[in-house]
Structure 1
């Protein structure tokens, strides 16, 4: 979709006049992103415009799943997320969030917010509706899984093995590394740690999905929000790095300590490494194998 058509369509969806400008934004690996500035008096506000994501031929319900995930996070009252202004099959319109530099105070606030989020019970592991990591749909069990003792097998059967198959089929992981993941799956009960009831998690919490804010309260974006294991969110922050991570984790653990978490970080990073191996190949398959080996007790 060209920029002019995108601007016109956004204005129509928000019932306002023709846009003043459409500015492409950098940084997305999956979607194209734009800032669309609309005339004053639009439902989106008078000055800041809106953020628009598009994807040609997206998977079914792709943007609706993101909008639903944002609604799930918002409903907890624990974290802030952007407002959804419009959603269609190939397009999502969100309020514009003015970016700001990360700082230690915001990182500590986010740590406390995440602790509150993870203290929010979820109905089940996963969700009743679709969720995606990148463009990869996450597997859903035929019947809800709720027993904390069942999380290890849920994680194997609906996260690790389906993602491993995709990585193998895409040529993104070698035989030895794939075998290491399979071995970990066989021994998941030894690696999983104490039972964890389903908690509300962001589900794709790398640092690029944190929007640092000028008002001091960071927002979370691009979720795969679901019932899951809190350690997965924290491990992903560590996987790709996050500004002021020590302050964030310190604030989190002051509210919600997790004994023994460090030993389980590779296990909780593995699903995202498999997603990257399936989508991008390269060194991610080797990293997935290394994480699987590190997670073995």
Structure 2
């Protein structure tokens, strides 16, 4: 109730009901009913203000995302959105939404020709280092792969170090900059009546559009309708997406433990690292 009360104070309202919500593996999340009868979504987390900035960026890019109603250093209050249908009911619309997001001009969010994000973020207690680089391949090697080396088993660390040396030959240095959602798994996509209601829980950065396919395809298999709605991909995309999957796999290994060891080693083998 402490989180709900803090949200009510931010909203200048009382509370008529509270219900915990699923999916909050790394933060507390709940539906709170205010005095006027409105339901709102309330969550905490390591960086509510940064998450709010990311949601604003998604909305400005034309992607559906919840409106930020209030935020401070510990609490984020969001518009409640109906999105109870399974994502598989809206693959076509997700392709359209993701194409819109990736096609938006991100120059207001990063220096021209640079990749990354202005501030570091986090999944729970795992820091996502950002900052800006003018070379996407080096950003990915240093900020998404090598950062894990001190925190994984020595055998995996050695393979990551070897792989990182080859990244400039595997990934483009200067792809067209795109705003990435950054954590696009099915739990962060709300759907209703065949449409995407909202993209939630972003971990945004400016980067190569294909990186958003990594998390999407790590645990799900988009249908042909999704790919057709998204549109043409660059040659070699499948190989690069496999490489991009290593980052969310490593994040899961560090957050949730040895259950993800085999996933990481399988991906390392697939990219011949």
Same fold (TM over 0.5): yes
**Is residue 188 of structure 1 aligned with residue 167 of structure 2?**
yes
Q: Aligned equivalents of 2:16 and 2:218: distance in 1?
A: 39
8 Å Cα contact 2:121/2:130 also seen in 1: no
Q: How does 1:82-93 map to 2 (within 5 A)?
A: 82-93=66-77
Cα offsets for 1:242-269 (capped at 9, x unmatched) = 6x5432223112xx42322112222111
User: Judging changes above 3 Å, is the alpha-carbon distance between structure 1 residues 127 and 195 closer, same or farther for their aligned structure 2 residues?
Assistant: closer
Q: CA deviation at 1:205?
A: 0.9
Q: Aligned equivalents of 2:65 and 2:245: distance in 1?
A: 23
Q: CA deviation at 1:275?
A: 1.0
Q: Aligned equivalents of 2:212 and 2:33: distance in 1?
A: 33
Match for 2:43 among 49, 53, 61? 53
Q: How does 1:88-107 map to 2 (within 5 A)?
A: 88-102=72-86, 106-107=90-91
Q: Matched residue of 1:89: which SS? A: coil
Aligned to 1:154: 139
Q: CA deviation at 1:70?
A: 0.6
Q: CA deviation at 1:195?
A: 4.5
State the TM-score, normalized to the length of structure 2.
0.88
Q: CA deviation at 1:134?
A: 4.1
Q: Aligned equivalents of 2:49 and 2:180: distance in 1?
A: 18
* Higher strand fraction (1 or 2): 2
Structure 1: unaligned runs, 5 residues or longer: 41-45, 169-173
**Is residue 217 of structure 1 aligned with residue 196 of structure 2?**
yes
8 Å Cα contact 1:176/1:289 also seen in 2: no
Q: Aligned equivalents of 2:265 and 2:87: distance in 1?
A: 34
Q: Structure 1 segments of 4 or more deviating over 4 A?
A: none
**Is residue 145 of structure 1 aligned with residue 133 of structure 2?**
yes
RMSD: 2.2
Structure 2: unaligned runs, 5 residues or longer: none
Aligned to 2:205: 226
Q: Aligned equivalents of 2:203 and 2:125: distance in 1?
A: 11
State the TM-score, normalized to the length of structure 1.
0.82
